[in-house]
Amino acid sequence: MTGIGSYDEIAARRYARVESRPDGFALRLAPRILRLFDGQRPTRTPTMLDIGCGTGQLTDFFRAAGFATVGIDRAEAMLRHRVDDRSGHRGPVAVADASALPLAGRFDLITATFNVFNHLPNHAAAAALVDEVARVLAPNGRFVFDINTTAGLRYTAELVETHTGADDVTTWTRRWSDGRLMLDASGAFVDDDGNWVRYEERIVKIAITIADIEGWFAAAGLGPPRWLSDDLITALHEPEQHGVAYGVAGSAPIPDAAEAAAPAVE
């Protein structure tokens, strides 16, 4: 299976079609992230940076919600197939590495969703991403992200899964290799012209523990992430035991998930 790319042209076309649906990962999460700002919106236009924005469904959602958004992604094809082309209100995006952001601004909200951390090449790159977030996060800003825990990656490595939808089918085959999950996807989807298109992709996910993440946040001078379930309210007391853990962090510890809201952003 060598030579199969990830997030290349065909994969990006599929992502824009399939993952941008309302029941896709980013759009299910988006209103829950927005709720963190309920009643706490700054009087000026809030700013949002979406790291590993892919085809941009999250940036599109937040732009529609009144945020000034910026998206960055390493994969040029993903940015080329942005879903916001359909809604007609494009925001700025840049081809860039999450570990070396070409940005000087400060952002009220920074996101890295759908296991962007696990997509990085190694732990040094992940630690550098946290350093970059610390550099560009506004003083009362929030960083919202999710990771596949190591337990979650190891568990799914035993599974072969097929998803069959009305206009897409994908089989995921996984293999644990040298501390990484090798994820091979193979299937087909209906494109914008109504034609079925074959699709293959390999994604490599690195293993990251909760302790790794917390160490990088401490080293970067950020408060420890508050670990939550996917409702972004319920605290996870043993996040490593969950396949996916959602983190919300700021420059100081996040006080209490029950508040379900970030402190005022000035």
Please give the span between the terminal C-alpha atoms of the chain, in angstroms, as a whole number: 51
Sheet holding 244-249, edge to edge: 93-95, 68-73, 47-51, 107-112, 137-148, 244-249, 226-228
Among 16, 75, 126, 232, interactor with ligand SAM by CB under 6 A: 75
Q: Is 114 in the site for ligand SAM (CB under 6 A)?
A: yes
Residues 9 and 56 sit within 8 Å (Cβ to Cβ):
no
Q: Is 84 in the site for ligand SAM (CB under 6 A)?
A: no
Residues 214 and 224 sit within 8 Å (Cβ to Cβ):
yes
Give me the least distance between CB of 55 and ligand SAM, in Å please: 7
Question: Which residues fall within 8 angstroms of residue 144, CB to CB, at 6 or more apart?
Answer: 33, 36, 109, 110, 111, 112, 113, 232, 246, 247, 248
Tokens 């996917």 correspond to what residue?
A: 230
Query: DSSP secondary-structure letter at 77?
Result: H
Residue with smaller CB distance to ligand SAM, 78 or 133 = 78
Q: Is 53 in the site for ligand SAM (CB under 6 A)?
A: yes
Q: Is 26 in the site for ligand SAM (CB under 6 A)?
A: yes
Residue with smaller CB distance to ligand SAM, 26 or 248 = 26
Among 52, 141, 187, 250, interactor with ligand SAM by CB under 6 A: 52
* Residues of the chain by 3-state class (helix, strand, coil), percent to 5: 30, 30, 40
Closest CB to ligand SAM: residue number? 54
Query: In the window 117-136, what residues touch ligand SAM (CB under 6 A)?
Result: 119-120
Q: Is 78 in the site for ligand SAM (CB under 6 A)?
A: yes
User: Hey, what are 104's tokens?
Assistant: 């000087």
User: Which helix (DSSP H) or strand (DSSP E) does residue 90 occupy?
Assistant: none
Give me the least distance between CB of 120 and ligand SAM, in Å please: 5
Among 33, 61, 63, 73, interactor with ligand SAM by CB under 6 A: 73
Residue with smaller CB distance to ligand SAM, 139 or 220 = 220
Binding residues for ligand SAM (CB under 6 A): 7, 19, 25-26, 52-54, 57-58, 73-75, 78, 97-98, 113-114, 116, 119-120
